[in-house]
Structure 1
Amino acid sequence: MLMKRMLTALCCIIMSAVNAQEITVDAKSRIGQVTVFLQGAQITRQAPLTLKAGVSVVKLSEIAPVIIEQSLRAESSNDAVKILSVSFQVNYLQGTTKPERLTLLESERRKLMERIAEEKSQREVYAEEEAVLKANRSLGGQKGVAVDELKAAADYFRIRFSEIKQKELQIDRNIRQHNEALGKIEAQIKELSGEAQLKSVGEIFVKLSAKSAVQTTLTLSYLVQNAKWFPSYDIRAKDIKSPVAITYKANISQQSGEDWDNVKLTISSGNPTQAGTKPEIKPWLLGFNNQVSKSAISSLANSDGSHATLGMVRGRLTDDAGQPLPGVNVMIKGTTVGAVTDSEGYYSLMLTRDAQTLVFSFIGYQAIEQPIGNREVVNVSMIADQSMLSEVVVMGYGTQKKSMMTGAVATVKAEELKQKRIITATPVVRQTTVEFTLEDKFTIASDGEFRITDMVEYDLDALYEYYCVPKMDNDAFLVAKVLGWEEYNFLDGEASLFFEGKYIGKSIMDAHNTGDTLTLSLGRDANVVVTREKVKDLSSKQFIGANQKSVFAYDITVRNKKNFPITIVVEDQLPIPNTKEITVDKIEDSKAEHNEQTGILKWKKEVEPGKSELLKFKYAIRYPKQNQMVLE
């Protein structure tokens, strides 16, 4: 009896020991969901598991080699499974699978290097033959040779030396061509991925506990940094009677080390790499010799904070060897406005009103910041980061409050606008971010190249009118003023403009500077003719005591050659004196809206088809006659 109890106890101890042993399980997982942030991405993987009773360690391979470990999370679909721990490590012995394109390039590189080696070997053979010929040019010693023999020998040496030199020149040309091709392939290989990522692969270990055999699905999520997106837009107007269609697009790139194959993709306006701590204001101690705030003396900004050189910047990105860098990300610092360099390293980028600094970033290279200043061209040479590598431009934005708009414009309610939108992605407005989940699954290889996808298209009502400043340009520009755009959480980004089915240039969605009306310029219209002429009979110059008086009169004519009525805004100006000794008197302005602080005269007129509208303005300037002034 005692022996039986001892055997039973021993069996229980053995079974407990067996159950306590950890079982290592290699599991297959696949990426099912990816959320791409402005910088970084959250990856969600799933792995179906069949677990035995006891403790199991599940190993998942082929993970991105660089993840933010603090973000790693694991969940089980079965409540009977308890997650004990989650850890991550990098396996430097098992390389990640190289992209097929990279494998082909490396194969081509090996072939070129072999050809270069063969050409050099052949050149050495000819060099040796040339040396032998030179050493044996002396014929006959002291006895000499016959004339016929000497002539035959000279002919032979001359012909053979010529053949050798021709061969050597051809070999040099071949080597030079092979080296040029090799340089291009080397640059392309460098672009595709860094050596560090090709030598390592991530592995995740999850320790699980189950009281009995069970099936479950393990869900893992983690953040990677080498991923990004930035917005861009297509803005289309069919004609001046149709709404404006705004297509919201995402430019997505990743080089995390793992391909996203046929995944559910969500685009988020969040940026987990950006500090989320609120700023705290410190006491401002005022004393003598304080440094003036940089923002107060900056030559880049106007008094209202807008950029003084509003327009476009362009340039070229190269590496430290002078080779072009395609695929470099160019961003306006502090915004989501960006562009990507083309195959020759060139880029062009529309500027927001407060743009001051450009940020250039590319996998494997040190990020560079460059001030814009008044430059129109910013070229940059990027330096490799050794720790990671072992057309017509249309100025088309502005601000205007609804209270400043006149004409037949109906206020469009948000509910009406929502009925008009064409959805290709589902937008979700969260507390601090906006997310778009694409309806169709998406594939993005880990190659650093940008893929562009449409997210949402909105049809928004617009007021169309013409705008002209004949003092500067006699052409009339068609302008679309879009209402209700702020309902849709647009981010800053470049916009391509299309009117009547034709591409007319680039603009900018300057979301954080634009008011409740988005103003877009749609180009020049030759069928609206504007002229500005000085009326000499009404202009004069005379002396009155110690002063001189000059009178100026102008006629502005607007002719509508179109077959429908148009609305046009015409602007001119009166000078503003900067001293009390100068006075400016307005005599006539055809009922213009006059801003006395800026001197701007503004007319808004309806012009019938085939008709003309005449605008007159006249003013006088008084100033001391001993002073010289430029009055026109």
Structure 2
Amino acid sequence: MIHSMKISFISIVVLCFSGVVDGQAVLSKPENVPFAVTVFEDKARVHRQKEVEGTKGTREVVFSGLPASLDPASLRGRLVKSEDIKGLVLGVRMTREGLNTPPVDEVITLQEQLDNIKDQLLEVSFSLNRIELQSELLKRYRAILETSVSLTARELGKSFDSSLVHEIQQWLLDSDLSVAIEVDRLKQDQEKLNDRRGEILFDLNSYSIQEFDRGWTATVIFQLETSGTVSVELAYDVPTARWTPFHDARLDESTGFVSWEYGAKVIQSSGEDWKDVQLTLSTLRSSLGLSSGQLIPQEVTAIEIESKNKAARSLDSVNESPTEDSIRMDTEDFDDSWGAAPLVESDSGGVVTYQLKTPSSIPADGSAHAVTVAKYKMKATLDYQSIPLVSPRVFRRAKLVHEGIGVLLAGEVQCYRSGTFVGTGSVGTIYAGQSFEQHFGVEGRINVHVQDLQSFDKESSSSVFSRARVERRTGYTVKSYLEGEVPLELVSRIPVSMLEEVKVELGSDTEPTPQVNEDGICRWILNLKKGKPQEVILHWTAVADKGSEALLDLLK
């Protein structure tokens, strides 16, 4: 009886190829493991292959030990093309294998790790709340100081010495920096803990009873028109796999070159190890769907909101991508000694595929395993950069050009400077031929001192022609203790008015004259000599029409 048979026909896939596939008693190679894997962002496609000796007629070949996590609907069989032997695949029959015991000890260990991470995340959250309260106190201290200084200055007039409050201002600045560093550290810890939490949940999902109750056996049924040796290939998808890009940047100060390694962290817990497989990485996501969907009409109400196009404007100017529909990376552009020169394809739909040159091994342990995609050696234009409004520190900067072929996807970058690890950052997507910047840590031998030289606020009088006015002067003193002459870019800003009632201009006392873009970002290129300070003054004024004085409060 059919019901007494322990075979359930789950998927019959009929594909026609001018290739090969088999049935009945067949001689096959003992290898029954994956030989090629394509990892997507939300799954992996695994390929197995058997070489069989078949005679004319309908044949079968069995693939056993398939993981329980595979998607039965994804199963496909095909015959590798051959000029001498022709045939076609008639279908694929699947059967459940015996019961597997779930790894109870591993599940318990993962659950304990998950509980521990939850506790750590709670501690980080408490610490962030504490830092937030500290930051609020500093804001109040600063407001009290500004009010006290303003009142005192008005009483004393020109005899008031602003240097009296410098020490308090420096303490507030140092406290703000400490708070910022602590917040940055806590958020990095929080991000790492959340990543690890996601990995554990990913593993626990793959260790569910549904995943481990039974494995699969697949039988590929095919028909040969002539006798001979053919290769039968079986492909299937497993959902418990993914990959993320990462970068490793190493600056050699002595040569001015940056060694840039582009790699991927591959995670899989499909239930079967991938040993020495041909690995391909793709950004394709099956969850993107088959169409773009329906466009919803946009209605403009009585309240009109100005479109925020600054971000798009800056992206257009910085991340200009090539217009070619496809990009292919030739292996001859790379050193074969390290063996990871990839084949890279990018279509007009934005999908990028990396086919690694050398075999890769990815165990099914749910951990991240690094593989190298490509290596580059980039000539750097080195200088220093300081943005006092963001940080009081000076940073080493390398201006680079991606002269290789292919796309470097956005991801985490580990930075080293002359062999010393200086920190972890991030980099956006970089296209072939694109210029970009990478910073390599703090330079303590260059100091930038900031001083508020003069603030002037004038209320409008009763005159019809009078206008309220705000004026600011800020001084920057930059001093280098490095040998020789070094370039530094100093960056600040002036307000940008989007209103006709308020006009903001760069003041006449600004020295030297900076480069100012449409967003009010001011840049000075300074050539510093050891022990010789350079002075920069930023002066700007803002005036408001009669009746619009309140708008200037935003600039005070």
TM-score of the aligned structures, taking structure 2 as reference length? 0.62
Going from structure 1 to structure 2, the CA distance change for 1:257 and 1:592 (only over 3 Å counts) comes to same
Output one character per residue of 1:55-74: Cα deviation in whole Å (capped at 9) or x when no partner: 33322211233235355032
Output one character per residue of 1:513-559: Cα deviation in whole Å (capped at 9) or x when no partner: 999322222222111111223446xx777899655766654432211
Q: How far 1:24 moved relative to its partner?
A: 5.4
1:427 matched to 2:339? The reply is no
How do residues 409-488 of structure 1 correspond to structure 2 at under 5 angstroms? Answer: 418=333, 424-430=339-345, 432=347, 433-471=351-389, 473-484=391-402, 487-488=405-406
Q: How far 1:610 moved relative to its partner?
A: 3.3
CA distance in 2, matches of 1:439, 1:273: 28
CA distance in 1, matches of 2:356, 2:346: 20
Going from structure 1 to structure 2, the CA distance change for 1:483 and 1:89 (only over 3 Å counts) comes to same
8 Å contact from structure 2 (residues 64, 216) kept in 1: yes
1:304 matched to 2:310? The reply is yes
Q: Counterpart in 2 of 1:242?
A: 256
CA distance in 2, matches of 1:525, 1:108: 44
Q: Counterpart in 1 of 2:507?
A: 586
Choose which of 95, 98, 103 in structure 2 pairs with 1:94: 98
8 Å contact from structure 1 (residues 25, 59) kept in 2: no
CA distance in 2, matches of 1:562, 1:258: 56
Look up the SS of the partner of 1:532 in the other structure: strand
Choose which of 478, 485, 499 in structure 1 pairs with 2:417: 499
CA distance in 2, matches of 1:262, 1:206: 24
Going from structure 1 to structure 2, the CA distance change for 1:491 and 1:600 (only over 3 Å counts) comes to closer
8 Å contact from structure 1 (residues 71, 222) kept in 2: yes
1:59 matched to 2:95? The reply is no
8 Å contact from structure 2 (residues 247, 261) kept in 1: yes
Choose which of 561, 565, 569 in structure 1 pairs with 2:489: 569
Q: Counterpart in 1 of 2:78?
A: 74
The AA in structure 1 aligned to 2:79 is: E
- The answer for unaligned runs of 5 or more in structure 2 is 1-22, 111-199, 321-328
Q: Counterpart in 2 of 1:559?
A: 479
The AA in structure 1 aligned to 2:94 is: Q
Q: Percentage identity across aligned positions?
A: 16
1:611 matched to 2:528? The reply is no
CA distance in 1, matches of 2:227, 2:300: 78
Q: Counterpart in 1 of 2:242?
A: 228
CA distance in 2, matches of 1:492, 1:569: 26
1:49 matched to 2:47? The reply is no
The AA in structure 2 aligned to 1:265 is: L
8 Å contact from structure 1 (residues 425, 437) kept in 2: no
Choose which of 519, 524, 528 in structure 2 pairs with 1:598: 519
The AA in structure 2 aligned to 1:442 is: S
Q: How far 1:252 moved relative to its partner?
A: 0.9
1:203 matched to 2:118? The reply is no
How do residues 181-196 of structure 1 correspond to structure 2 at under 5 angstroms? Answer: 190=204, 193-196=207-210
Q: Counterpart in 2 of 1:387?
A: none
Q: Counterpart in 1 of 2:284?
A: 270
Look up the SS of the partner of 2:210 in the other structure: helix
Q: Counterpart in 1 of 2:426?
A: 508
The AA in structure 1 aligned to 2:274 is: W
8 Å contact from structure 1 (residues 427, 435) kept in 2: no
CA distance in 1, matches of 2:452, 2:401: 38
8 Å contact from structure 2 (residues 489, 523) kept in 1: yes
Q: Counterpart in 2 of 1:23?
A: 24
CA distance in 2, matches of 1:477, 1:568: 9
Comparing 250-259 and 213-222, the one that deviates more: 213-222
Q: How far 1:272 moved relative to its partner?
A: 4.8
CA distance in 2, matches of 1:438, 1:239: 31
How do residues 86-235 of structure 1 correspond to structure 2 at under 5 angstroms? Answer: 86-91=91-96, 93-95=97-99, 102=103, 190=204, 193-210=207-224, 214-235=228-249
CA distance in 1, matches of 2:301, 2:440: 50
CA distance in 1, matches of 2:299, 2:522: 45
Q: How far 1:422 moved relative to its partner?
A: 7.7
CA distance in 2, matches of 1:438, 1:401: 26
CA distance in 1, matches of 2:232, 2:268: 25
Comparing 251-260 and 48-57, the one that deviates more: 48-57
Look up the SS of the partner of 2:445 in the other structure: strand
CA distance in 2, matches of 1:108, 1:472: 43
Going from structure 1 to structure 2, the CA distance change for 1:103 and 1:424 (only over 3 Å counts) comes to farther
Going from structure 1 to structure 2, the CA distance change for 1:190 and 1:616 (only over 3 Å counts) comes to closer
CA distance in 2, matches of 1:625, 1:107: 72
8 Å contact from structure 2 (residues 26, 53) kept in 1: no
Look up the SS of the partner of 1:94 in the other structure: strand
Q: Counterpart in 2 of 1:409?
A: none
Q: How far 1:564 moved relative to its partner?
A: 2.8
Going from structure 1 to structure 2, the CA distance change for 1:33 and 1:541 (only over 3 Å counts) comes to closer
8 Å contact from structure 1 (residues 42, 224) kept in 2: yes
Going from structure 1 to structure 2, the CA distance change for 1:86 and 1:482 (only over 3 Å counts) comes to same
Going from structure 1 to structure 2, the CA distance change for 1:517 and 1:89 (only over 3 Å counts) comes to same
Going from structure 1 to structure 2, the CA distance change for 1:624 and 1:443 (only over 3 Å counts) comes to closer
Q: How far 1:604 moved relative to its partner?
A: 0.9
8 Å contact from structure 2 (residues 79, 87) kept in 1: no
Look up the SS of the partner of 1:23 in the other structure: coil
Q: How far 1:401 moved relative to its partner?
A: 8.0
Q: How far 1:458 moved relative to its partner?
A: 0.9
The AA in structure 2 aligned to 1:595 is: V
CA distance in 2, matches of 1:492, 1:401: 12
Look up the SS of the partner of 2:98 in the other structure: coil
Q: How many residues align?
A: 421
Q: Counterpart in 1 of 2:155?
A: none
Going from structure 1 to structure 2, the CA distance change for 1:531 and 1:399 (only over 3 Å counts) comes to farther
Look up the SS of the partner of 2:43 in the other structure: strand
CA distance in 2, matches of 1:207, 1:597: 68
The AA in structure 2 aligned to 1:479 is: R
Q: How far 1:427 moved relative to its partner?
A: 1.9
8 Å contact from structure 2 (residues 406, 431) kept in 1: no
CA distance in 2, matches of 1:564, 1:89: 74
Going from structure 1 to structure 2, the CA distance change for 1:261 and 1:544 (only over 3 Å counts) comes to closer
Look up the SS of the partner of 1:588 in the other structure: coil
Q: How far 1:212 moved relative to its partner?
A: 7.2
The AA in structure 1 aligned to 2:341 is: T
Going from structure 1 to structure 2, the CA distance change for 1:556 and 1:68 (only over 3 Å counts) comes to same
Look up the SS of the partner of 2:91 in the other structure: strand
CA distance in 2, matches of 1:437, 1:596: 42
Output one character per residue of 1:73-100: Cα deviation in whole Å (capped at 9) or x when no partner: 3215664463341213241x5235x69x
CA distance in 2, matches of 1:52, 1:587: 93
CA distance in 2, matches of 1:554, 1:106: 60
- The answer for unaligned runs of 5 or more in structure 1 is 1-21, 110-185, 308-352, 355-397, 403-413
TM-score of the aligned structures, taking structure 1 as reference length? 0.56
CA distance in 1, matches of 2:67, 2:353: 24
CA distance in 2, matches of 1:581, 1:95: 76
Q: How far 1:502 moved relative to its partner?
A: 2.4
Q: How large is the Cα RMSD of the aligned pairs? A: 4.5
Q: Which has the larger radius of gyration?
A: 1
CA distance in 2, matches of 1:249, 1:554: 45
